Chain A
Amino acid sequence: MSIKRAALIGVLAAFFGSPPARAAGHEREGASVTVTVCPAASIHYRGEGKIWPQSYANQFGGETSPLYRVEIVPRRNSPDYWSMTLWHTGAFGGGDYGTEQIPDRRTGGLYQSNRLNVGFTNLFVTRHLPLESVPANVLFHVSIVREIFKRDQFAVQGPSGWVTTGPSGNDDTNEISAEGIGLGLEGEHGDRLYARWATSANYYVMLFDAKTDSSAGHIFQAEAGVGYRPVPAFSIELGALWQYWFIPSQGERRLSVPGTDGAVISWNRQETRTQGFYVRSTYRY
């Protein structure tokens, strides 16, 4: 069973099963800091767009990168509360590079090959509202998301053969950002030993970057885990998360590689899937 399917079934089972428990944060006042690390998150990326005359879609072998998430909840006096969550993964956090290849539809061979690391830095500000008679919170998110693409070691097909930039040659970093709102649900069931789940769907627009269509895609997240709270102020949890991200952007930008049409460094539409097992630790004070 895939992590995606397991996470979805976990969320649905926990919500509809409603075991005797309390919703996350209902009865605990005070502030908290939660750190989540996916030591080896699997990141798969697909780029598509009109790359004329060479191609339409890229082929990316995927990468493994650590995913970090820090969630801060300020001191609260009511069951409703705010939180701020920062997600990050990418080369800066120790992520690997995968191989991106671009087919050449004219020749049937390859037009370009390069190393690629796909990362992101996403900020979610969330209002948590407890539900009546169900041990769960509804989540309202406002978020700013930024996807970061780092490419290097280009090999590009020119009229007289391959032109390579090599390990010390040109590299490129480009970013896409979007702003959006989302809704979600979360629940925590148990006390010293507990199960926790959360799921969210977010819709994005581009307030600043859009040239034509401001519609900027969607992020869906699901996660579920089991934790242990040896003392009220501290808990540790193991689980799995899955994230789907679709975001459009301006494509067909190229890096100058002399003797070729240039190395492709952006696409019109990108789909990024992130999944992995996590360790999550919360400290309350």
Chain B
Amino acid sequence: MKRRLVGTVAWVVLLAPAVRAGQMSVYYSPSAQVEYEGTGYRSTAQGWELKVKPLSAATGFVWDHDLTKGRSLNIQYWRNESYYHREDGNALSATLRQTGLTRLAFHNVLAGLRVPVKERRLAASLGLQGVRETFDRTGFVFNGNATGETACSSLGGIGACLGLHGGSKGVEPKKCAFYSDWDLMFGHLFLTTGRPRAEGGSIHRDGYTYTFRLEAGVSSPRWRCGLSYVRQLFQVQFPGGASLPSGAAASLPINKTDFFGPFLNLSYVY
């Protein structure tokens, strides 16, 4: 998988400059906040919410590639570095609560076409979005007892997103300059899936997202270096609600993940 990713990036780096203009950017945050809240139907009274909120390193790759008539192709990929972090449940009483350790990893991919707005430094975007999250859970304590169980679950969604992109290019030939850049996208997930499924809950289809990035920095004709703030949300609903033999939740139908933090970014302009 890593070899394939490296190969794709190398292909893009080598081939893209020969074809047309564009920009490739890497975003890195040593400490971005991920806040997950799973809710929805449970067949037991021992809780209706699970929350895990790790601070973790996160990375984003953004590729802008100019097409004809001022249009451009924009592809974004965002992920976090996952690790086990304490997860808390919410229940009728403390003794009924579910707690544990959860490793949450997410992948957010957006691919869109940007079209300039007439007589403005704005571009509209229409694209597709895919979200995938995996949860590795261990160290369950349920009803006050350590269960010794582990659980792996996953969920994902595919949909469309609409957005606006703006900013100042800030690049003059052979000069360094300040630049700014931002984009905002709202998405709807038409197709969602996950496992384990239990047909639980009544709200268990579709989902929605937003993606926001605000960036400023210094640019030269070939490079850009900046500081940005990124905020994303994905809500994925599917027929979850599955429980482990002990009764602890293994999946939930309504899954909301907020992801936000400051990022450093470096861009190569070709």
Chain A residues proximal to chain B, CB less than 8 Å: 8, 12, 15, 46-48, 50, 52-53, 56-59, 79, 105, 129-134, 136, 138, 140, 182-185, 199-203, 215, 217-218, 220, 244, 246, 268-271
Contacts and interface: CB of A to CB of B under 8 A. Distances in A.
23 contacts: A48-B40, A52-B92, A53-B45, A57-B41, A58-B202, A79-B119, A130-B117, A130-B118, A132-B115, A133-B69, A136-B124, A183-B164, A184-B162, A185-B162, A201-B162, A201-B186, A201-B188, A203-B186, A215-B256, A217-B208, A218-B208, A246-B206, A270-B203
B203 A202 contact: no
Interface residues of B, number: 42
B45 A132 contact: no
Given A131-B124, A215-B256, A246-B208, A57 B202 contact: yes
B190 interface: yes
Given A136-B124, A201-B187, 13 more contacts: A12-B160, A48-B41, A48-B254, A53-B45, A129-B120, A129-B122, A130-B118, A131-B117, A132-B115, A183-B186, A200-B162, A269-B39, A271-B203
A215 B257 CA distance: 12
Contact of A56 (B69, B118, B120, B201): B201
A220 B206 CA distance: 11
Interface in B114-166: 115-120, 122, 124, 126, 160-164
User: Secondary structure of the B side of the interface?
Assistant: strand
Contacts of A183: 124, 162-164, 184-186
B235 interface: yes
User: Secondary structure of the A side of the interface?
Assistant: strand
A220 B188 CA distance: 7
Interface string B209-239: 0100000000000000000000001010000
A58 B210 CA distance: 28
Interface of B: 39-43, 45, 48, 69-71, 92, 115-120, 122, 124, 126, 160-164, 184-188, 190, 201-203, 206, 208, 210, 233, 235, 254, 256, 258
A132 B117 contact: yes
A134 B115 contact: yes
Listed residue (B71, B120, B122, B203) with the most chain A CB atoms within 10 angstroms of its CB = B203
Given A138-B164, A183-B185, A244 B69 contact: no
Contacts of A48: 40-41, 201-203, 254
A-B residue pairs, 4 tightest by C-beta: A201-B186, A138-B124, A218-B208, A57-B202
